Structure 1
Amino acid sequence: MQRRSLLSLAVAASLLSPAAVLAQTAPASAPAPAAQQSQGDLDKVIVTGTRASNRTVASSAAPIDIITPETLEATGTTELATALARALPSLNFPRPAITDGTDAVRPAQLRGLAPDQVLVLVNGKRRHTTALINLNGSQGRGSSPVDLNAIPISAIDHVEVLRDGASAQYGSDAIAGVINVVLKKNSSGGDASARYGQYKKGDGKQWNLGADAGFKLGSDGFFNVAVQGGHQDNTNRATPYNGVVEQRYGDPEVKSGAFSYNAELPLADGISLYSFSTYSRRNVLSNGYFRWAGDIRNDRSIYPNGFLPQIHNVSKDVASVLGLHASASNGWFLDFSVDHGYNDLSFNIENTLNRSLGSTSPHQFYAGSLHNGQTVFNADATKDYSVPWMKGGPLTVAFGLEWRKETFESTPGEPNSYADTGLMIPALDANGNPTGAMVRSSGGSQVFAGFKPQDTSLHSRTSRSLYLDLEGNFTDKFSGGLAVRNEHYSDFGDTTTGKLSLRYAFSPKFALRGTASTGFRAPSLQQQYFQSTSTNFVGGVPYDIVTFRVDNPVAIALGAQPLKPEKSTNYGLGAVIQPMARMYLTIDAYQVTVKDRIYLSENLLGPVGAYLATQGIFNVNGGRYFTNALDTRTRGIDVVGGYRWKLTGGSSFDLTAGYNTNRTTIQRISPTPAALSAVGIGLQTIGRTEQGRVQFGAPRNKFSLNGTWKGQHWTASATATRYGEFTSYGTTAATDQTYKPKWVADLSLGYRVKGWEFSVGADNVFDTYPDRSIPGFGTRTYLPYSTQSPFGFNGAFYYGKVSYSWK
């Protein structure tokens, strides 16, 4: 049970002065391009982070960004996560490669925290997470976040991003903040667009089609429908090895399609029925590590020249919501809703073999699937009260309840995908020549072994929560809010969180705002019950690693314990400055401490492999499991500013800038369990590689400057973004590498006439690449770039787009 004094949080927030934060904050982790907002956006009414009906961006006590569809489309991408990373402070979205299913469902980080520590809403309703759990060497390792790219950009009206802890308002996961995707609700008109592009290298060709249309529903209702589909070829930035390029290293091949609708139908005066839904299907073909002809894992009778195994993931993502809201004559606003969503992810392994089946091995396998589902019932009530001590307006009182059921299921692959016959094969030397000895072959389909029946399972849990939220203006200058939430989970019990928000406007040009809150994140079912075997490269050497469930007897023998919820404390202090018309500046400092942070342990190698053999697990080099082994603290600052010039002839020029710097430090690492010490002396649950990933794996800072000119027919935009340095840690300090900061420039030009718009653009127009990885420093010589690069490693991308809008 988590119990915190809100009074103590308020006192602590008051002590968090800008000078103190600046003195204690060193640059580190997490990027942040400028949120491209105009002065008018500060006056827009928001629905995220507040229950009040008239709260705006400028009057919010917590930092919030509004990302418009124009901003999303101007980024030159059709992926929502990529677009947000280019438009948002504090969002990091690298493009890892050769990371199994993570190539298909990439995680994003907000404010340098874990991808699953940000809550995603659609139209204010909780979105389900992906079934995938990111297990390999990428940022967000061990997380199962929401798949943002399953939401079609063509359906989005705008995105609201609350950069502040909000567990007391929304429940689990809202430690780093909240991303609320608001769908279009037009009753007429529409848009249609076609886009084509490719990289300077000539690969990665992409086409995308999208459209949306609004229709009137009843007398005052609407039905808005959107579709989107496209295809992306793979990219390859691998370099020659032994004179040839056999490996592929870059973005996967993707075929995608998505559909959504958003509807509302008035039933009577003040009563409306609403519903919305999204559907996405994505086929992703990604690459594993090439098996050379002389690799002991290869059978030359099948692949005389070696082979490149591939993973074909099919991700199906569905979410539907049905609700009723009513405005009563006594001032109460009631909202009842039920939503159900799920993600299915299947694994089909191609161009591969199972070495233990010998020359009769099939070349492709069905390796099983993962399913994650969520059903939520919400009942919310809100009313504005006139009270004598609230001089600046009414007191908004909101309360409600939520009931949620979550399920996670893994299903086995076909028998050949996990079979291990114990076949003995000749041992090979470093040159691939037989040594005369015999060794046991590896089992299972290569690059990704099928899920075994004993590894698969079906698990579910339920939770219920009650919340109370108070918000209002004490005077015309002073406003505040208080929220308290209690949740009960069927698998680990109760937790209570609270949040205090305050804002004081010294004048219309300057205001201070601050928040103090506690939060939590429940361990996901994936983190508790996922189990599989996969190949990982550690220091450039392949190892077969088992990810154990925490309740597996072998995991327990290695020190695993039942997972507890993460607990956080958030402080934020900021200023909103509007010195003149059409100019604004916001500065927000924050500190987030997370206790019992859930993390995937180090790959436990060495003597662990011999121990696993005694447990009947052969030819596996090591194991790992999830653990509450870390306490972390993240400190940072966000700065966002902009100015709009009104020019002659009705044209305008917007200049926006954004900067983020933050640093995550590990405050505590649990001692190595006695059980693990007994297996292997010197093993650490969280070793230096993973400590480095948490603290230095994301860019230390990020700066972005955008200028957009709009005329009667023409639009031109230019963005320059500086990504700060990041460090990749090896198993020893000698194998660490720090990657230097890089500038990336994007340009676009558009022409509008009679509903048509024609545009061309270039992302990364100067063809910037990250530093090359030092060969031998934990990397393979033919993989020249780090997968942690925040802007990828594909180089310049050129595109053209045609769109038509009608009213």
Structure 2
Amino acid sequence: MKGYNLVALAIAGQLITPAVLAADNANNSDIEKIAVIGSRIAVRTATDSVAPVDIITAEQLQATGLTETAKALQFAAPSYSFPFSAVTDGSDAVRPANLRGLSPDHTLVLVNGKRYHSSALVHLSGTVGKGASNVDLNTIPMTAIKRIEILRDGASAQYGSDAIAGVINVVLKDAKDGGMITTQLGQTYQGDGEQWRVGANKGISFSQNGFVNVSLEAQHKNSTNRAGLDPRDQYPRLPDGSKDPREATFNRKNHQVGDAEYDNVSLFANAAQYFGDSGKLYGYAGYSQRETKSGAFYRRALQAGNVPEIYPDGFLPQLAPKIKDYSALLGYEFDWGKWHLDSSAGYGKNSFNYRVENSLNASLGPTSPTNFDAGTLSTDEYDLTLDGSRYFDFFNDSEIMLALGAAWRQNGYQIQAGDEASYANGDYQGKPSGSQGFSGFTPESAVDEQRHNTAVYAELENQLTDDFYWSAATRYEDYSDFGDKVSWKLAARYDLTEHFAVRATANTGFRAPSVQQLYFTNISTLFNPDPVTGDLVPTESGTFNNLSSVTQALQVGKLRPEESTSYSLGLVYTGDNGLTVTLDSYQIDIDDRIVLSSSLTPDDSAVVAAALAGTNAESARFFINAVDTRTRGVDLVVSQRFDLGSFGDLQTNLAYAYNNTEIQDIHLPTILDGLQDQLFDHIEQVRMTDSTSHHTGSLGFTHHLGDFTTSLRFSYFGPYTIAYSSEDVEYKGKTTVDLSVAYQATDNFTVTVGAQNLFDTYPQKRPADNNFNGIFVYPLTNTPFGFNGGYYFVEGRYTF
């Protein structure tokens, strides 16, 4: 809600943590004071902060050779996870990410210190964060980013809903002159996934005290495919029982399992005009459009879901969503007497248009179209804030900072029905209805709802002595749909010696149910494997919101906010020789976590059968406050810079993150007693607790010598578990190696060559008895670094 700025040191290719900043401070006593995200008081270095903060520079993101902001961030911050997924409907286009192993919607995202809107997509398939909607960081072009700050601490009392796991603040470039043009090309070792990215950034000074910084980026990536061959019969057997001759020439690599193809264009502008000593009119605006294309399950020629007159050899339905994102913010800050005031108004909108290509609605027979508009999800957000702060004299000749503020926010959610052909039932030969791959939203699923909330908050911060700092915050929020919440935070830091300090925080937090969880509804065709044959069997599954007669009949009740209590304790060491170490432990208890339930069928209970009567659904799932969890973890960062004399200088950084989530309780409505295993089954429990690696780490080296900068990074992703219908499989931990070399050919031009996953590491394969006839070689979801193998790239950068 408030704008916090952070001065970062631009060390190319290196994770800039508090430890790194302090290390540089040992060699430069003139570094200005900085204000760390989560605090208003300027401190000497980031290691003076009361909570752990990671700072990732634009150079470090670019050194990964990756073109997606979210994916590049994963390799820069071990506590941030961006697991791979494939054949997961819309989640192939907007993948979920998380911080500290919690849900994607437990992390608040800011842009220039102001709340950023979320994606309209609800993750419905078997990904991490199933049932959540996350902020799509890929709507922000990497070209526009100056740095990214990650506050690894709960901060709901300061920022409001969603900041249970932490806060990610994306700081946009603000140079008032100069610019750069960059071009990058790359592909995987296997020769697919070819991609290019072209970006341009320009700072423009439109007055003596004003600027606008504009970034434009376009990128394209071809799909990757690591599917195995399909050994099954594709055509009906001949009358004599022999195979159809076409089986011999059929291309058995009929699935597409890998990265989606995508095209993306984005434009961002950041601007400010200064007036006198304290006045500042500021704002930003952004637009992005992305079109992706990924495969669903292949429909064989002999399947009931096929119409041979249209696809005599079967077909692969392709989801081709179009995603549009808009954002704008305008603010003004100034001094009024002893008060510093900041007011702002922001707007954000995200739309997700489901399009299905190379498909059909089998129930319409040979007249079925093959391309469909299956409907559009959209969400929008309005934010108004007024914030003021000033200092008062306090004990021990210190000053205490008081901040007061108020905020108003409105969130809206809309579902627009798809083309009639995308959901219609034409009753042709009893074949399944709806567009294959993704069935369209019906008019009954259409919604247009909104909710609003008002907040007031207060903060106190005080550097009582040179050695002791403390802060306190409290926040009251009132929501139009569920009522009010109060949260608070206490934090302190004490410097034991010149080199050692201890820091601690305690806070409560909350996450309001998102409008997506409140209002999403749909009846669609899901395909589940037959336990005997392994073939996919279609079922009509309904996702019902809290407004539906189904959830009311099941007495699910209105969604309530999730509530958290968090504690952290950390140690900081800053040596005279530039060595810095930060070690932070934490515990996060969350009650009433909102989950998307498993599917209940009429066979589970007479109550369920009665609730589904009169609907077209064969099963029901819904959002419910059903789970209490406890997450414990440790974050370690060690940094050291070495002066190698005539051999240049070397910056090293070790980062390690451990977290473990345990389910404390599962609670259900009385009417659903006895259905715990069905409502939140074992697969979902494992997905919440063990599908993300408990141990992650990285070891990075950045070496500067003359015109050359070499970056070498080892990234470790620990074991993780995926529960299948027949067994739990623990996948082994793996280490990937990334290497890049940048050569500054002239003062203005730099060329970089590198490899991501240098040694072509792949995750462990799925077990032979659980790989869908050998087609799904690797896990479709939750693999922390994907299964594309090695990737090499070249980049040219011209600055002016």
Deviations 1:115-174 (A, max 9, x none): 000000000100000000101010111111110111111111111110000000000000
2:560 aligns to what? 564
Q: What is the identity, as a one-letter code, of the residue corresponding to 2:721?
A: T
The answer to which structure, 1 or 2, has the higher relative contact order (CA under 8 A, 6+ apart) is 1
1:717 aligns to what? 711
Q: 1:222 aligned to 2:207?
A: no
Q: 1:413 aligned to 2:418?
A: yes
Q: What is the alpha-carbon distance in structure 1 between the residues aligned to residue 741 and residue 612 of structure 2? A: 65
Deviations 1:627-679 (A, max 9, x none): 101000000000011100122248310110111111000000014652586xx
Q: What is the identity, as a one-letter code, of the residue corresponding to 1:87?
A: A
Summarize the Cα distance change of 1:581–1:272 in structure 2 as closer, same or farther, 3 Å threshold.
same
Deviations 1:576-629 (A, max 9, x none): 1112332111000000010000010012246269938962334x4422110101
Q: What is the alpha-carbon distance in structure 2 between the residues aligned to residue 764 and residue 535 of structure 1? A: 37
Percent of aligned pairs with the same amino acid: 40
Local SS of the residue matching 1:684 = helix
What's the offset of the Cα at 1:222? 1.7
Summarize the Cα distance change of 1:185–1:760 in structure 2 as closer, same or farther, 3 Å threshold.
same
1:591 aligns to what? 587
Summarize the Cα distance change of 1:757–1:304 in structure 2 as closer, same or farther, 3 Å threshold.
same
- Maintained 8 Å contact 1:592/1:635: yes
1:653 aligns to what? 650
What's the offset of the Cα at 1:216? 1.4
- Maintained 8 Å contact 2:36/2:46: no
Which of 333, 350, 362 is the matching residue for 2:357? 350
What's the offset of the Cα at 1:327? 2.4
Local SS of the residue matching 1:98 = coil
- Maintained 8 Å contact 1:369/1:413: yes
- Maintained 8 Å contact 1:34/1:703: no
Summarize the Cα distance change of 1:729–1:672 in structure 2 as closer, same or farther, 3 Å threshold.
farther
Q: Normalising by the residue count of structure 1, what TM-score does the alignment of the two structures yield? A: 0.90
Q: What is the identity, as a one-letter code, of the residue corresponding to 2:523?
A: T
Q: What is the identity, as a one-letter code, of the residue corresponding to 1:259?
A: L
1:615 aligns to what? 613
Q: 1:129 aligned to 2:123?
A: no
- Which piece of structure 1 moves more, 771-780 or 635-644? 771-780
Q: What is the identity, as a one-letter code, of the residue corresponding to 2:770?
A: F
> What does 1:396-545 correspond to in 2, within 5 Å?
396-423=401-428, 425=429, 440-539=430-529, 541-544=536-539, 545=541
Which of 323, 343, 364 is the matching residue for 2:371? 364
Which of 669, 678, 681 is the matching residue for 1:684? 678
Q: What is the alpha-carbon distance in structure 2 between the residues aligned to residue 763 and residue 331 of structure 1? A: 52
Which of 721, 742, 750 is the matching residue for 2:734? 742
What's the offset of the Cα at 1:800? 0.3
- Maintained 8 Å contact 1:309/1:352: yes
2:248 aligns to what? none
Q: 1:642 aligned to 2:643?
A: no
Q: What is the alpha-carbon distance in structure 1 between the residues aligned to residue 723 and residue 140 of structure 2? A: 34
2:625 aligns to what? 628
Q: What is the alpha-carbon distance in structure 2 between the residues aligned to residue 682 and residue 489 of structure 1? A: 30
Local SS of the residue matching 2:585 = strand
1:261 aligns to what? 269
- Which piece of structure 1 moves more, 256-265 or 53-62? 53-62
Q: 1:157 aligned to 2:146?
A: yes
Q: What is the alpha-carbon distance in structure 1 between the residues aligned to residue 82 and residue 133 of structure 2? A: 15
- Maintained 8 Å contact 2:209/2:275: no
What's the offset of the Cα at 1:35? 3.8
Root-mean-square deviation (Å):
2.0
- Maintained 8 Å contact 1:169/1:485: yes
1:777 aligns to what? 770
1:83 aligns to what? 72
Summarize the Cα distance change of 1:41–1:536 in structure 2 as closer, same or farther, 3 Å threshold.
farther
> What does 1:89-100 correspond to in 2, within 5 Å?
89-100=78-89
Q: What is the alpha-carbon distance in structure 1 between the residues aligned to residue 502 and residue 186 of structure 2? A: 45
Q: What is the identity, as a one-letter code, of the residue corresponding to 2:664?
A: Q
What's the offset of the Cα at 1:302? 1.4
What's the offset of the Cα at 1:781? 2.5
Deviations 1:347-390 (A, max 9, x none): 11111111111111111111110110000001000112232x15
Q: What is the alpha-carbon distance in structure 2 between the residues aligned to residue 34 and residue 598 of structure 1? A: 37
- Maintained 8 Å contact 1:551/1:560: no
2:242 aligns to what? none
Local SS of the residue matching 1:203 = coil
- Maintained 8 Å contact 1:99/1:137: yes
Q: What is the alpha-carbon distance in structure 2 between the residues aligned to residue 493 and residue 47 of structure 1? A: 32
Q: What is the identity, as a one-letter code, of the residue corresponding to 1:510?
A: F
Summarize the Cα distance change of 1:612–1:728 in structure 2 as closer, same or farther, 3 Å threshold.
farther
Local SS of the residue matching 2:439 = coil
- Which piece of structure 1 moves more, 648-657 or 787-796? 648-657
Local SS of the residue matching 2:75 = helix
Q: 1:375 aligned to 2:382?
A: yes
1:751 aligns to what? 743
Q: What is the alpha-carbon distance in structure 2 between the residues aligned to residue 126 and residue 721 of structure 1? A: 31
2:236 aligns to what? none
Local SS of the residue matching 1:70 = helix
- Which piece of structure 1 moves more, 538-547 or 745-754? 538-547
Q: 1:602 aligned to 2:631?
A: no
Q: What is the alpha-carbon distance in structure 1 between the residues aligned to residue 666 and residue 175 of structure 2? A: 52
Q: What is the identity, as a one-letter code, of the residue corresponding to 1:798?
A: Y
What's the offset of the Cα at 1:780? 5.2
Q: 1:551 aligned to 2:547?
A: yes
Which of 27, 37, 56 is the matching residue for 1:67? 56
Q: 1:696 aligned to 2:690?
A: yes
- Maintained 8 Å contact 1:608/1:622: no
- Maintained 8 Å contact 1:34/1:658: no
Local SS of the residue matching 1:607 = coil
Q: What is the identity, as a one-letter code, of the residue corresponding to 2:321?
A: N
- Maintained 8 Å contact 1:735/1:778: no
- Maintained 8 Å contact 1:676/1:683: no
- Maintained 8 Å contact 2:297/2:317: yes
- Maintained 8 Å contact 2:612/2:618: no
Q: Which runs of 5+ in 1 are unaligned?
A: 1-32, 426-439
Summarize the Cα distance change of 1:534–1:47 in structure 2 as closer, same or farther, 3 Å threshold.
farther
Deviations 1:753-786 (A, max 9, x none): 2211011000001110001001333755301111
1:319 aligns to what? 327
Summarize the Cα distance change of 1:38–1:73 in structure 2 as closer, same or farther, 3 Å threshold.
farther
Summarize the Cα distance change of 1:534–1:646 in structure 2 as closer, same or farther, 3 Å threshold.
farther
What's the offset of the Cα at 1:215? 1.5
What's the offset of the Cα at 1:53? 3.5
Q: Which runs of 5+ in 2 are unaligned?
A: 1-12, 26-32, 232-250
Summarize the Cα distance change of 1:317–1:155 in structure 2 as closer, same or farther, 3 Å threshold.
same
Q: 1:662 aligned to 2:652?
A: no
- Maintained 8 Å contact 2:659/2:694: yes
2:8 aligns to what? none
Q: What is the alpha-carbon distance in structure 2 between the residues aligned to residue 355 and residue 794 of structure 1? A: 34
> What does 1:780-799 correspond to in 2, within 5 Å?
781-786=774-779, 787-799=781-793
What's the offset of the Cα at 1:41? 2.0
Q: What is the alpha-carbon distance in structure 2 between the residues aligned to residue 613 and residue 527 of structure 1? A: 20
Summarize the Cα distance change of 1:593–1:613 in structure 2 as closer, same or farther, 3 Å threshold.
closer
Q: What is the identity, as a one-letter code, of the residue corresponding to 2:728?
A: D
